[in-house]
Chain A
């Protein structure tokens, strides 16, 4: 029968039940993905961020494990042997050179572990000092960010969730701390605290860290939490007004449930991203203070203090300046790029 295109007759062929094969074809055979998996997939597609991440992991692992294997200590003066006068031939060695006693041992057929970056003016192996410096810088960056995260999150969520007068008072304090010139305050606090803290922490576990390091953490805890708390307050304020929170409340949810099921999961990506971006900031500040002589206590090295020490011998030993400079730029750059990638992958809304 020839079909009339204008006919209103229903073509009964369209209503034949689908065969099993046809049904199979329509089913999407993809495992359901979670928000986290989806984000990781997007992150892995971003080549710059992936390379940065690999670099960070490599530097971190090196700085943690290499000192255990290395034959020289970061504060070991190689020219100094117990009961003998100081051997000055170990000071200021160029890369892959050896001190006199080492040369004698090499001549005798012994194999000596090379000083890859040479030694510094006090005869300390420079490579291990750079590795240690990277460890200190990364450690300070990581723990300072954790401190900032904890304080900022607590204050921000209290201000955002309780609201009212508490919110107004907290936000005024935040405004004032925010408008303080932070670097100047940091320098002032660090310079004074390293004097007054020294006596306070003597004999405790904290003394091992050194007064300068503690004052660094205190300064971070005092000044840098404000932007984090602002961010979290803003997040909570906007999330609180969302329809799904209203729906959940209307359905009888208690506030504990709302916080656990709606507020925290929706905040968490912002929190993680801004913490990740806080780390390079903290490293930056630490190296800056170390460069000014307010960072870690000697003989402990940090990348900033290594660069600062190298400034005196810049014409004779330029490599001592270039090496920590390159390492610190690499760390800060890769952390920044990774943080940006993390932001793009997990919270595209944040990108402006």
Chain B
């Protein structure tokens, strides 16, 4: 790794930190802009009760002081304050509980999507313009343009209601199967298309012809030369894939009643539970930004040919 790469990485880390800070700032000021204040909700309160609540949550202080307190609470104590609707529970508590389920869901979906996508993409590229290739391309085109909530609801209808193969409720045993499949479908289709086009590109390269001419076995050419090199674009997709899985899990967890962080987020919006909205937004946004950072850096490290800005 040379100094140029290091400089690039430092620059990216700085940009990521800046992004996270901006997310926190936007979240803070946007929720403060809500009429009635973030901790008060909808109901009209008596003047004394409002004053007492304001004092309790520090809302009587100047906005800038509230902001610095919030920022230092998050950064140094990892404290997002108490939840409004779920009395007695901290936001951090709710988030960690939700995360346990959501991470399981997300990691399974990402793993399935990557494996299925790479295999199907490679098969399609090797069988170019044959029937298999055409079927794969048609199916992936359909999956790519179907919104995740449509996919989820239709799968729920088909497998849980009509065929009754799997439970409809994501909280039960085996209930994660459907949400995982729903979440994995779009990225799997996308990775298939990505792998196919990059594999076709690699298969046309001179070094593949050279390897074949030298008498390297076809299996080794496909796995050692072609597939390995065509996976580089897939790495760049890892960050966006995670972003998709995070946002997709918001609706998928809602549809299948999975007790994850996505459902907490959506419920916090309908409940106007602003501390929870802020907490989940910040945690999920940080996750996405960090994953984008990692996939960007990996991309540059894996392929030294890529010029650094």
Contact = CB atoms under 8 A, between A and B. Distances in A.
Interface in A314-332: 314-315, 318, 321-322, 325, 328-329, 332
Interface stretch (A100-108, A113-121, A176-184): A176-184
B269 A187 contact: yes
B126 interface: no
Interface stretch (B47-55, B100-108, B117-125, B284-292): B284-292
A61 interface: no
Contacts, number: 119
A332 B147 contact: yes
B172 interface: no
Interface in B65-121: none
Contacts of A318: 157, 161-162
A284 to B, nearest CB: 6
Contacts of B154: 321-322, 325
Contacts of B18: 176
Chain B interface size band reads 35 or more
A74 interface: no
A306 to B, nearest CB: 11
A26 to B, nearest CB: 41
A184 B147 contact: no
Contact of B270 (A293, A314, A325): A293
B153 A292 contact: no
A311 interface: yes
Interface stretch (B177-185, B202-210, B212-220, B247-255): B247-255
Given A180-B22, A181-B23, A328-B147, A314 B277 contact: no
B34 A307 contact: no
A311 B153 CA distance: 7
A225 interface: no
Contacts of A287: 147, 149
B277 A180 contact: no
Nearest to B270: A293
A288 interface: yes
Chain A interface size band reads 35 or more
Interface stretch (B24-32, B129-137, B224-232, B300-308): B24-32
A185 B26 contact: yes
A175 interface: yes
Nearest to B142: A333
Given A179-B19, A311-B153, A329-B150, A336 B145 contact: yes
B146 interface: yes
B33 A176 contact: no
A68 B118 CA distance: 50
A176 B149 contact: no
A192 B153 contact: no
Given A292-B254, A325-B153, A328-B150, A184 B281 contact: yes
B153 A180 contact: no
Contact of A284 (B27, B31, B147, B284): B147
Interface of B: 15-16, 18-19, 22-23, 26-27, 30-31, 33-35, 141-142, 145-150, 153-154, 156-157, 161-162, 243, 246-247, 250-251, 254-255, 265-266, 269-270, 272, 277, 281, 284-285, 288-289, 292
Interface of A: 175-176, 179-181, 183-185, 187-189, 191-192, 195-196, 199, 280, 284, 287-288, 291-294, 304, 307-308, 310-311, 314-315, 318, 321-322, 325, 328-329, 332-333, 336
28 contacts: A176-B15, A179-B16, A180-B22, A181-B246, A183-B247, A184-B281, A185-B26, A187-B250, A187-B269, A187-B281, A188-B27, A188-B30, A188-B31, A188-B281, A192-B30, A192-B34, A287-B147, A287-B149, A293-B269, A294-B269, A307-B150, A314-B156, A314-B161, A321-B153, A322-B157, A325-B153, A328-B147, A329-B150
